[in-house]
Structure 1
């Protein structure tokens, strides 16, 4: 069939978890809602601390500010629709809305990857170039890198949408996922999708593996630098400054790399297992990341404790005023 904007479809259907029995749909929606609720609360708290506490106005925390904003936007892009599918039986998404969601899924995923690159750069300079850290990694540097990440990431996602939107979609309208993504949409096109999927795959690999290559390089240098420290306590203390970032980076990259490698070496999953893995690496990091910030970063812990103390004192003053 020749290419062109002559699709007969006006909407898509998100399959969600195909094997999920109807009696468990309410439970699934409740779990997804709780994940979304805690993600919003946790990230909003971190955002509030970063904005209001001047002691956190440092380059590293500006990177976390970007990651927090990205996590909020990504969760808001993906979760409400799948929650409404199971909660309100709203299974369909309009043709245009699906492409808008696809754009933000890939755009925010790319931004996230660039932000993790900044995190690795921060630790690399702090440990391997400590004397030049304050000179090289200033607030202005983080601002430039962050703006660049948010702007440059638009190109790849926009290219995917521009190339996929005009394809003829005239067969099945069921997307085998919980949200609209490039593979899920273009696999429904009534045309040879190789010319579209290969450039999209190359772009995804560059966006994913480019920052990952630097992350591996930077942490290899960090490990070598740490091993040169004679004091065991010094080694542990230095590595502890990286532990939070390593957990965040692992949560983002390891499941994605596993899925890509498995598909290329012939490991197959059931549809439900594949979608479950995709959802786990999509929705869990935004919920878990704030816990890592607050538990692993001393400044964040202290800022959070100060917030709780202020709330407690304020509550006691209110109770005292009411009883007087």
Structure 2
């Protein structure tokens, strides 16, 4: 069968969590909706704080702003469809829409990885090269690096879609996942997957392990620099400035590295466990990250309290005006 012939496949079926008992579908859909709602509200709050408070217009917070935008877009790309499956029984997704979703899943994951690289670069320069930090990482430089991250991340996902879309899909159209990704789609093709899967794997590793290598190097250098500080309070204060980023980076990379390592050493998961793990490391960080920013980043915490106090004072003024 020639490539480009989809053999009548016009849509794919997303199974979500394959082994989920019907009586728990309502609970799972409500939980997914809560995750989506908290992700949107949390990331929108950070974006609002950045727009409303010029004191946050610093390189580190501009990088966080990019991460918030990426997290909100990723949640919007993946969650509404699987929520509608459990709420309305609508698990089908059109052939074209599935590939569009696949593109954005891999694109936003690549952007996320590069933004975390910029986070590590910011802390590396601030702690290991403090005298040159302000000149090396100006706001204009961060703007250029951020835009570059959003642009170059197109390469891998676009290549995946261009190569996978024309394949002959003549077998099952059931995707054992909550959203369309490259592996979930291409395993359904009626052709040898290796010529398509291996380049995609290499590209994914470049965008995953490339930034991770620098992150490991940067934080190793940071630890060495901190250990040279004689004052223990100075060491703790310096470490606290990068603790937020380190927590966020760990949430993103550690589960992914665990899954890749487990698969390479022969540890296999059931389909249900695999889907749950992927959903946890894909969707928990967008929900948890804004909370970490507000609790750990001092400037962000102060900005949030200022905005809340402004609203409280405004409401009291309005009540007083009405009563008088």
| TM-score normalised by length of structure 2 | 0.99
Structure 2 SS opposite 1:68: helix
Partner Cα distance (2:310, 2:281) in 1? 35
Partner Cα distance (2:292, 2:243) in 1? 9
1:319, CA displacement in angstroms?
Answer: 1.7
Partner Cα distance (1:183, 1:236) in 2? 44
1:253, CA displacement in angstroms?
Answer: 0.4
Q: Note if contact 1:7-1:167 (Cα within 8 Å) is conserved in structure 2.
A: no
Structure 2 SS opposite 1:167: coil
Name the structure 2 match of 1:246.
246
Residue deviations 1:192-244 (CA, integer Å, cap 9, x gap): 00000000000000010000000000001001001111111111111111110
Name the structure 2 match of 1:218.
218
Name the structure 1 match of 2:130.
130
Q: Note if contact 1:2-1:191 (Cα within 8 Å) is conserved in structure 2.
A: no
Equivalence map 1:1-324=2 (5 Å): 1-324=1-324
1:322, CA displacement in angstroms?
Answer: 2.3
Structure 2 SS opposite 1:268: coil
Structure 2 SS opposite 1:314: helix
1:303, CA displacement in angstroms?
Answer: 0.3
1:270, CA displacement in angstroms?
Answer: 1.2
1:321, CA displacement in angstroms?
Answer: 2.2
Q: Note if contact 1:244-1:296 (Cα within 8 Å) is conserved in structure 2.
A: yes
Partner Cα distance (1:128, 1:7) in 2? 58
Partner Cα distance (2:257, 2:7) in 1? 34
1:5, CA displacement in angstroms?
Answer: 3.3
How many residue pairs get aligned? The number is: 324
Structure 2 SS opposite 1:93: strand
* Of 312-321 and 63-72, the range deviating more from structure 2: 312-321
Partner Cα distance (1:170, 1:17) in 2? 24
Q: Note if contact 1:124-1:222 (Cα within 8 Å) is conserved in structure 2.
A: yes
* Of 309-318 and 137-146, the range deviating more from structure 2: 309-318
Partner Cα distance (1:7, 1:280) in 2? 35
Structure 1 SS opposite 2:269: coil
RMSD: 0.8
Structure 2 SS opposite 1:12: strand
Structure 1 unaligned residues grouped into runs of 5+: none
Partner Cα distance (1:226, 1:43) in 2? 31
Partner Cα distance (2:99, 2:223) in 1? 42
Structure 2 SS opposite 1:100: helix
Structure 1 SS opposite 2:153: helix
Residue deviations 1:158-178 (CA, integer Å, cap 9, x gap): 000000000011111110110
1:34, CA displacement in angstroms?
Answer: 0.5
Partner Cα distance (1:82, 1:227) in 2? 47
Partner Cα distance (1:189, 1:202) in 2? 20
Residue deviations 1:293-322 (CA, integer Å, cap 9, x gap): 111111101100001001111111222222
Structure 2 unaligned residues grouped into runs of 5+: none
| TM-score normalised by length of structure 1 | 0.99
